[in-house]
Structure 1
Amino acid sequence: MTEKLRGLIAGARFVLFDFDGPICKLFAGHTAEQVAKNQVRWLEERGLRGLLTEEEQREPDPHVVLRMVDRRHPDSDLVFELEKRLTLQELRAVESAYPTAHVDVLIQTWYALGARLAVATNNSPLAATRYLATRGLSECFAPHIYGRTQDLSLLKPHPHCLNRALSALGAEPSETLMIGDTATDFQAAKSAGVRFMGYARNEAKEKVLRKAGAEVVVGSFEPLLKMLRDRRR
């Protein structure tokens, strides 16, 4: 695994980070599950709970709830309002978001080594931009922060936000590494033709990534940071 990890970063001139997970735990203060419940409650208050199946109503991921509503009413005012409410929740969550261990220094070290960095996320780019500013990391990424748009069909696993980053950076896919923590991150990276490194906070997330096909999955960025520091020296 060490050699595979070393091989991944050796030719990575461009690095794309997913946001919620690899960079921070966005919903550390109020859980994503609670946000999803609030979405369902908001639909119920408007007599629209029936848009979701009973299983979907228990979905802990607000992005899944949003996507399900969009599938039934694409490009509608309803979807626009629900997405706007999610963006506001993500912006609020920034205040209590918790940084992923070692990632701030990892980002700064990679940037100092000359790598070009971007964020490619299903979260609102406004939330990612605000969070990076609070950590003093804006310079490492700006202006390359690519997130959710009004067209929800372009959320990962669609490679849209990755392709936007590649185009803006002038990056060759073969020289690009994507770091993500979900199966959809891996699928988007595969579609975009870029290499992939999985980040898993726990064993359950690692199993999901492995099942999706990810070969390199780390539970901590510390070994990666050590490799980059050795290279810098």
Structure 2
Amino acid sequence: MWPLSGRSSGPRALRQLLHGVDAVFFDFDGPVCDLFGKKPTAHIAEEIKVMARLEWGALDRDVEDCHDSHGILHRLRDMLDGTPAQRCREPLDEANTIVTRHEYDAVNSAVQAPDVEPLLDVLLDLRKRLVVVSNNAKEPVQRYLERTDLQSRFEAVCGRDPREPRRMKPHPDAVRRALTAVGGMDPAKALLVGDQLTDLQAAKAAGIRFLGYTQDRRRLRRMKQHGADGVVASHAPVLVAARALVDDYSCERRLQTESK
């Protein structure tokens, strides 16, 4: 891991960022766990193509060229809408089912992100409201949270819309649903922690703050260039900042008590 200093956000900036929000939303794959072990999902995309060819025949070139399990859902949706011939949507629905099945399989061996559990606990100590906002299907995410005893930390899971893949991030739909889940909170009081530029785009579109979570130097620079409120390479500095906030609040309460 490259050094944090001079590249990612420092403790003071992170403390100020956390102090200014009442809710923290977490992307799932990355900030909460490593879902597919950093392996490509081309095999999932290929399984979907084989199925779709049986129903639709020849596929559009952008579908054939896609090797990502989420990207192919979006491209199949475009193909469904972009042809003059009447096509059934069953392959699109089946594609979502295939992706969800692989997500269910992956959560059984997904590795938890370092420091995420203590970070969640400290954020709860700070009375932050926590929600998962993901392009993964809701049910596999919930299974992972149950398997790892993290389900009690989160108020809701806002996952992929199974009927409309165009609402995956960078579309702000899931972020807006998360805001509704925490009582229609002012977007300016919420923060999304995400590891992709699509997370940043969704956050900006929904009007909430964004903290990038990445060890990729190029992506870090691009997140900064595109207006991220902060970027970190791990949860460790965020945990330090959150614990400092707890100490700050404890000190304030103590001073208030002593002044009475």
The reply to whether TM is greater than 0.5 is: yes
**Residue matched to 1:192:** 206
Counterpart amino acid of residue 70 in structure 1: R
CA-CA distance at 1:103 after TM superposition: 1.0
Over the matched positions of the two proteins, sequence identity in percent amounts to 32
Query: Residue 117 of structure 1 aligns to a residue in which SS?
Result: strand
TM-fit CA distance, 1:228: 1.2
Query: Match of 2:189?
Result: 175
Distance 1:102 1:134 in 2: 17
Of 63-72 and 33-42, deviating more is 33-42
User: What is the root-mean-square deviation of aligned Cα atoms in Å?
Assistant: 2.1
CA separation in 2, counterparts of 1:221 and 1:212?
A: 21
Q: Is the 8 A contact 1:66 1:79 kept in 2?
A: yes
Task: Give the Cα–Cα distance (whole angstroms) in 1 for the partners of residues 64 and 220 of structure 2.
Answer: 26
Question: Alpha-carbon deviations, 1:4-63, whole Å to 9, x = none?
Answer: 32221111210111111111111128642332233234334556452343xx53434211
Q: What SS class does the counterpart of residue 50 from structure 1 fall into?
A: coil
Partner of 2:233: 219
Tell me how far apart the structure 1 counterparts of residues 72 and 131 of structure 2 sit (CA, whole Å): 27
Counterpart residue number, 1:121? 134
Contact 1:52 1:68 in 2 (8 A): no
* Equivalence for 2:18: 9
Query: 111-120 or 24-33, which moves further after superposition?
Result: 24-33
Are 1:94 and 2:101 counterparts?
A: no
Q: Which digits, 9 at most, give the CA deviation of each residue in 1:149-191, with x for residues without a partner?
A: 1122211111111111111212211111111111111111111
Tell me: CA distance 1:132–1:70, structure 2 relative to 1, closer, same or farther (3 Å): same
Distance 1:49 1:43 in 2: 9
2:166 matched residue in structure 1: 153
Q: Is the 8 A contact 2:130 2:153 kept in 1?
A: yes
1:43 to 52, 56, 77: 52
Structure 1 CA distance, aligned partners of 2:196 and 2:30? 9
1:134 aligned to 123, 130, 147, which one? 147
Question: What TM-score does the superposition give when structure 1 sets the normalisation length?
Answer: 0.90
Matches of 2:91 and 2:144, distance apart in 1: 27
The aligned amino acid for 1:87 is T
Question: Does the aligned pair in 1 maintain the 2:15–2:242 contact within 8 Å?
Answer: no
Q: CA deviation at 1:81?
A: 0.6
The answer as to whether partners of 1:21 and 1:180 remain within 8 angstroms in 2 is yes
Residues 215 and 57 of structure 1, relative CA distance in 2, 3 Å threshold: farther
Task: Provide the TM-score with structure 2 as the length reference.
Answer: 0.81
Is it true that 1:61 corresponds to 2:68 in the alignment? yes
Counterpart of 1:136 in 2: which secondary structure?
coil
Deviates more, 1:72-81 or 1:160-169: 72-81
- In structure 2, list runs of 5 or more residues that go unmatched: 1-8, 82-87, 248-260
Change over 3 Å in CA distance of 1:162–1:80 after alignment to 2: same
Q: Cα offset for 1:209?
A: 2.7
Q: For structure 1, which segment, 82-91 or 20-29, has the greater mean C-alpha deviation from structure 2 after superposition? A: 20-29
2:216 corresponds, among 194, 197, 202, to 202
1:87, distance to aligned residue in structure 2 (A) = 0.5
8 Å Cα contact 1:40-1:49 kept in structure 2: no
Partner in structure 1 of residue 84 of structure 2: none
Instruction: Give the ranges of 4+ consecutive aligned residues of structure 1 lying more than 6 Å apart after TM superposition.
Output: none
Between the aligned partners of 2:135 and 2:115, the Cα distance in structure 1 is 22
After TM superposition, give the deviation of residue 214 of structure 1 in Å.
Answer: 2.4
Aligned length: 230
Structure 1 unmatched runs, 5+? none
- Say if 1:52 and 1:69, in contact at 8 Å, map to a contact too: no
Output the CA distance in 1 between the equivalents of 2:58 and 2:105.
Answer: 25
Distance 2:38 2:208 in 1: 33
Tell me how far apart the structure 2 counterparts of residues 31 and 134 of structure 1 sit (CA, whole Å): 24
Pick the structure with greater CA Rg: 2
- Aligned equivalents of 2:126, 2:152: Cα separation in 1: 14
